[in-house]
Amino acid sequence: MCYSARVWADYKKYVRLYGADVSVKEFFELYWLRAQGEKVSVLGGMDAAFKDAPGADEQRIWQLVEQHHARLRAGLQEELAKQQERLETAELALSRKPTKTAAENKRVATNKIASITERLAQLDNSDLLAAEERIFPGTYAPVMVWLDGRRQVLPMRYGCRPAGKPADYDTRFPGTYNARRDNLDAFWRGQFGHTHGVVVAAAFFENVPRHMAEGRALHPGESPKSAVVAFRTNPPEDMLLACLWSRWSAPGQPDLLSFALITDEPPPEVLAAGHDRCVIPLRPENLDAWLNPDPKDLMGVYRLLDDRQPVTYSHTLVS
């Protein structure tokens, strides 16, 4: 279902390599919402892209990013102090009399200190921040679309809420980050043939049976276990992944831009690794035809999905 992917988080790549314009207004509105306390999950790489971006509007966005990071940093430092105190208390208790409770407190505090320290280092290092490019459902990322007669880049949430649906649609249908090819002209008829997009991705991630990812049969008495694998093209290349998107609006609520990756039956190497869906990489020469479809010629749109970029996937175990 492509629950996760490593995508381009820096909008400037789309501008530089595809001649796209960037909708600064949409980015500013998203960052303004986050500054007002809305729960908005943004890739670190998308934040970092505005650090040295030209233009006064882009720098206003960077100011919002810095303000958000300052709040995060203060909260993390406060939590770090609590966990360090917890660790010291546990170690003192263990020095007097070993107990399971003290040992567990030490383990939890140690793990949390490591996690918080890593997150603080990321906030303080723009290179580490820019390296955060892996989206999960609910994460915002740049998406290239066709608007006003040209390619444009907009920030969108991974997980599509189609226009006209109720606000609780996300919780009622949590799988709408995946647009199945065999359901495009039914469930997705409001978007298919109308609002198409692409994200550029280097890899996608799936949960699969571990033994299949390892290319073996189950051992006698072994129970199936899950593993996360990363699928990449072999040889490695960035992929133009086909998406559908929507602008959701409702009275008194901010607009929501969101998207879903289109998936299809997998090629043999993905199926052999244990997964039954696969993203669709478009041919670069079909990019504009995909972004600007003819809603009266859905068969022609389907042909674009069938005439996909020829790639072969390899996979590696992530966890």
* Separation of alpha carbons 177 and 260, rounded Å: 4
Structure tokens at 254: 């901010």
The CA-based angle 197-312-132, given to 5 degrees, is 55
| Residue linked to tokens 């986050």 | 34
Domain that holds residue 200: 4-24+133-317
Mean pLDDT (whole number) for 5-34: 97
Residues 143 and 80 in one domain: no
CA distances from 26 to 171, 198, 265 (A): 24, 17, 34
For the entire predicted model, the pTM comes to 0.93
Residues 188 and 107 in one domain: no
CATH code, domain with 95? 1.10.287
Residues 205 and 290 in one domain: yes
The string of DSSP codes covering 189-243 is TTTTTTSEEEEEEEEEEEEEEHHHHTT-PPPTTPPP-EEEEEEEESS---EEEEE
pLDDT in tens, 223-265: 999 999 999 999 999 999 999 999 999 999 999 999 999 999 9
- Band the pLDDT of 54: cuts 50, 70, 90: confident
- Band the pLDDT of 315: cuts 50, 70, 90: very high
CATH code, domain with 297? 3.90.1680.10
* Three-state SS at 70: helix
Is 239 a member of any domain?
A: yes
- Band the pLDDT of 213: cuts 50, 70, 90: very high
* Separation of alpha carbons 181 and 72, rounded Å: 40
Domain boundary among 129, 153, 173: 129
* Separation of alpha carbons 152 and 146, rounded Å: 6
* Three-state SS at 300: helix
The string of DSSP codes covering 105-130 is HHHHHHHHHHHHHHHHHHHH-HHHHH
